[in-house]
Structure 1
């Protein structure tokens, strides 16, 4: 049996003419197609009838000699029966179908545009919510910092009170020990009784009076002794209560600190989740925008394909209308000019409507693309804001770590520092303090005068070390020296900067005569925070002129602003020079509001993971 076919009507297909094995329904009429399928499934007799017609149509199709037909087609000798001239009805049907397909595609694209607008509004809502969340995170961070500072002050006050009480107890113990020993050494004998009392009665009055005073003194001393013992017991109880209070204070302090750290970690996780959500939204928006752009491009290509076809159909229709229809009308004595004009007018109107629809579609497409671009830019700004918040959180954590690490330092006593912005940040100060306190460098070279200079200067003044600072701005040197007294072990070398231009490096700011100023001295710590290098593809390259000859066997190189492209390029050149020289080394990066990059000798690799 043959296979019946249910399909939408395509009247211009020759294979469907007289083919009763195909059930054709109007374009887009899903209900009619479903009913035709249901009838075939429910009526076996109808199914056999349509199936038989399908077999007959297949046999008719196989009866053609397709090889000779294709040969005639290529030679241009195909019989007219296989290539009839188009009629107005056929052209009208084809044109109607093309218009219908284009309108359907326009509706589908309009729905895509509506979905794009809905997505854009959803992205705006998400961005608004993210801004609110960022404000909430910032306020929670401020509250956490305030709570941590308050707990630190309370713990400090409790510690001072405990120390004062301990000093008072020590003074009281030194006062109470003397009377106790004196009482034990000089306690008189017990009062006289029995025979001793009778003998005591025979003594003269003066001796009895002396004995009375002795017994009285014994009673007084005994009472004092008992009083002192009771006072000591009370002091011991008070000491136990103080120990319990101190233990509770320390427990509460550490608990509050843990709670604050947990809160900060929670905020950090929230920021990370928000960053992931924004990144995912941006990626999905880009994917949907790319998909819509592909669909729109396909639509425009189809429209570009349909346009020439429509024009061709119109030309053929004009030819047919002026030849065959007119001839038939003349022969039959009719006047078809009016109907031909009406048909041409209808086609012209349909073409005009089609052009207007295409123009509207193009405008809506451009609007959707513009709106999608706006949403993408908004998402990128939100992601940038989240990254800034994440860096601010990291900077707060580094500040707490720095303060806790330097608390009680024997050489870092002047803690008045102003990190951030153009100056180095807390991660730089923390790593620098650990290097100075644990590696104990003896020769330090610093490029750029600033907050790190205060920390290094305090170290070299307490150690047998030298410290050379290269700075280009004489006014800043004067201001710094007026507000901060540097030790004699710190020397400032004022060196102007120049702008160097080269074909491979572009414009680079450099210290003038840097190698001559630095000399041939070996350094075990090089701190690079100058000259200013923003807006350059390669920055702060002066140290490359003296590497690796200037390095001691154990060395540390620290580079600030390592999040900028210029400093990143310089760090890569430093690594290349160390590799060419065969010097074993390790590198690492610390992230805060700014990144710092560090390169160390192999034996100091632990400094890259502090």
Structure 2
């Protein structure tokens, strides 16, 4: 009898955990639908964005990501953009360069030369969008293995006022850590926005933590904004771009 009661209790706990997990999933999906409406409202009147063939979600950014990206590009008009990972965000930024950001430069870092060739067969980027191919390598970060771009620090030497972190392939811990080397080069007078995708994951949370620590050491004043749908996105912005954290 006692064994039967224990089994029933364990079954109840398991079912409760499952139901709770499913309810959370439904809440996130509902939030994502809300972000989809907000995003489409935010690009209304810009035919060049409304007609842009954009694949949202899955490996690409979700609707909260593209809403934030749209607002940053529209409201703050960055002049030098670094885009880690060739894909939907690259198409989106390139459309802005061709139609609104007529003096801005866009550097894309991509790990896979085959993907670059395949992408270019069906997509046309702005003449001011430059692709830099940095193959994927594995390095040790704080005792964990992490995927990073080979020769990133020698190929990417400029300063940027918008950095989008959506590549390379994610790692379980200290994911997409190349951005930290950019922070190490920054000076107290630099002004910038960093948009990090997938910060619901532990690996990206590790990297976000280290970015914050290094900015504090450099005494760089900054603000943080977080946006949640089916995935989470985080903005880190210096004083000049503080409003980007509350879009």
Counterpart for residue 150 of structure 2: 512
When Rg is computed on C-alpha atoms for both structures, the one with the higher figure is 1
Q: How does 1:235-314 map to 2 (within 5 A)?
A: none
Cα offsets for 1:40-69 (capped at 9, x unmatched):
xxxxxxxxxxxxxxxxxxxxxxxxxxxxxx
- Give 2:226's match in structure 1, choosing from 560, 572, 589: 589
- Give 2:178's match in structure 1, choosing from 542, 546, 552: 542
Report the CA distance shift for 1:470/1:589 in structure 2 as closer, same or farther (over 3 A).
same
Is 1:499 aligned with 2:135?
Answer: no
TM-superposed deviation, 1:501:
3.2
TM-superposed deviation, 1:461:
2.5
- Give 2:165's match in structure 1, choosing from 528, 532, 549: 528
User: Distance between the aligned counterparts of 2:52 and 2:143, measured in 1?
Assistant: 40
The 8 Å contact of residues 84 and 167 in structure 2, kept in 1 or not, is answered as yes
Counterpart for residue 36 of structure 1: none
Is 1:561 aligned with 2:175?
Answer: no
Q: How many residues align?
A: 244
Is 1:389 aligned with 2:26?
Answer: yes
Cα offsets for 1:527-569 (capped at 9, x unmatched):
00011215x1221111111214357733100000000011011
> Secondary structure, in 3 states, of the residue corresponding to 2:161?
strand
TM-superposed deviation, 1:410:
6.9
Higher strand share: 2
Higher helix share: 1
- Larger RCO (CA within 8 A; separation ≥ 6): 2
Cα offsets for 1:269-324 (capped at 9, x unmatched):
xxxxxxxxxxxxxxxxxxxxxxxxxxxxxxxxxxxxxxxxxxxxxxxxxxxxxxxx
Cα offsets for 1:109-152 (capped at 9, x unmatched):
xxxxxxxxxxxxxxxxxxxxxxxxxxxxxxxxxxxxxxxxxxxx
User: Distance between the aligned counterparts of 2:182 and 2:82, measured in 1?
Assistant: 12
Cα offsets for 1:154-212 (capped at 9, x unmatched):
xxxxxxxxxxxxxxxxxxxxxxxxxxxxxxxxxxxxxxxxxxxxxxxxxxxxxxxxxxx
TM-score, with normalisation over the residues of structure 2? 0.94
Counterpart for residue 114 of structure 2: 475
The 8 Å contact of residues 523 and 550 in structure 1, kept in 2 or not, is answered as no
The 8 Å contact of residues 589 and 608 in structure 1, kept in 2 or not, is answered as yes
- Give 1:376's match in structure 2, choosing from 13, 29, 45: 13
TM-superposed deviation, 1:382:
0.8
- Give 2:39's match in structure 1, choosing from 385, 390, 402: 402
User: Which structure 2 residue ranges, 5 or more long, are not aligned?
Assistant: none
> Secondary structure, in 3 states, of the residue corresponding to 2:225?
strand
TM-superposed deviation, 1:474:
1.7
User: Which structure 1 residue ranges, 5 or more long, are not aligned?
Assistant: 1-363
The 8 Å contact of residues 44 and 50 in structure 2, kept in 1 or not, is answered as no
